Amino acid sequence: MKSVIICYFSGTGNTFKIVNEYVRFFKKKDYEVTLHNMDEGTISYNLCDFDLFGIAYPIHAFNAPSNVLKFAQSIPSLPKKTKKTYFIIKTSGEPLKLNNMSSVKLQSILKKKGYILTNEYHYCMPYNILFRHTNNQAYQMWQMAVNVIPLDARDILEKKEVKLSNFPFKRCLALIFRIEHWGARLNGKHYKVSDQCLKCGRCIQHCPTHNITLENGNFKFGNHCLMCMRCSFHCPANAIQIGLFNKWKVNGAYTFHHYDENEIQTHQKYCKKAYQKYFEKNQKRIEAAKK
């Protein structure tokens, strides 16, 4: 039986949702699928034992989150002259081309270890910071992803290489934006919990870096925050204030499952052209595949 391993990080669930669509596809094609959640740290598997290897993450400040890079650093190097191919799956809130550079550092870490990127795919999923997409927008993004993932995954199986387009100075730009990795740690120290807190402990339990503790009834936030938003996004009482970025906080899961004619549309002009291009390009692919 052929096999695939996907190592993923997902702060608030979008990337995991996308990964699960890949899982569904690969299983239909009779692949044995192994998922490794980066929350659990390094892998004990030998990646060469799998026919296919993928990495999935949400884009943070046009980069991969710091824990994803740390995870890549922890992957053992391949023996000299051995090469292994891999694919990347990533999600982000807007479809700007700048997001294409998010994997430059990840690729360079893995290249030094003998891993060669062959396929890279980017899916728009609703923001978990900045502003709340409407449920209709979330629904549209999700439907697009569901329809296009089988085409992308088929390319991987058929060994048809697909790379995202390049642009000048991407290494430099990505490096500048990686200041977010330090920013997240600094800002994370300033998270606060309001009186609305239910003391359910969900934030403590699910923080990927175990950065939240409860000491003498008071919440303490350490300096390992990734700003993945898991704590504040899923807080049932919306009680977590996210420091300097509190105005950009998004709380509560999206409904991905229906289109509501009466829902009030917000931020309609935001990145309008980029979204249009994203939807049109993917729609064309879906229609071409039907022929």
Q: Where do we find the tokens 């990964």?
A: 19
Q: Which two tokens stand for residue 69?
A: 């890079």
Rounded-to-integer distance, Cα 27 and Cα 214, Å: 41
Part in contact with ligand FMN (CB under 6 A); list of ranges 90-98, 159-167, 199-207, 257-265: 90-98
Cβ neighbourhood burial of 44 (10 Å; 0-12, 13-18, 19+): exposed
Q: Which residue lies nearer to ligand FMN by CB, 156 or 174? A: 174
**Minimum distance from residue 158 beta carbon to ligand FMN (Å):** 27
Which of residues 39, 94, 155, 263 is near ligand FMN by CB under 6 A? 94
Distance of CA 216 to the CA centre of its chain: 35
The residue within the footprint of ligand FMN, chosen from 4, 5, 7, 11 (CB under 6 A), is: 11
Question: Is residue 58 near ligand FMN by the rule CB under 6 A?
Answer: yes
68 binds ligand FMN (CB under 6 A): no
Among 66, 92, 135, 282, binds ligand FMN (CB under 6 A): 92
CA 242 to CA 232: how far, in whole Å?
A: 7
The region of 76-84, 157-165, 199-207, 227-235 touching ligand FMN under the rule CB under 6 A is: 227-235
13 binds ligand FMN (CB under 6 A): yes
Output the CA angle 275-124-159, nearest 5 degrees.
115
| Pick 117 or 274: Cβ nearer ligand FMN | 274
Pick the binder of ligand FMN from 229, 235, 240, 242 (CB under 6 A): 229
- Shortest distance, CB of residue 34 to ligand FMN, whole angstroms? 19
Contact region with ligand FMN (CB under 6 A), list: 10-18, 104-112, 210-218, 277-285: 10-18
Least distance in angstroms from the C-beta of 56 to ligand FMN = 8
Q: How far is CA 275 from the centre of its chain?
A: 18
Share in percent of the chain as helix, strand, coil (round to 5): 40, 20, 40
127 binds ligand FMN, rule: CB under 6 A: yes
Question: Residue 236's Cα: distance from chain center in Å?
Answer: 22
Whole-number Å distance between alpha carbons of 92 and 98: 11
How far apart are the C-alpha atoms of 46 and 233, rounded to whole Å?
34
Asked if 227 interacts with ligand FMN (CB under 6 A), we say yes
**175 phi and psi, to 5 degrees?**
-60, -45
With respect to ligand FMN, which residue has the nearer C-beta, 3 or 131? 131
What is the torsional sign of CA 257, 259, 263, 269? Answer: positive
Binding-site ranges for ligand FMN (CB under 6 A): 10-15, 58-62, 91-94, 99, 125, 127-129, 227-229
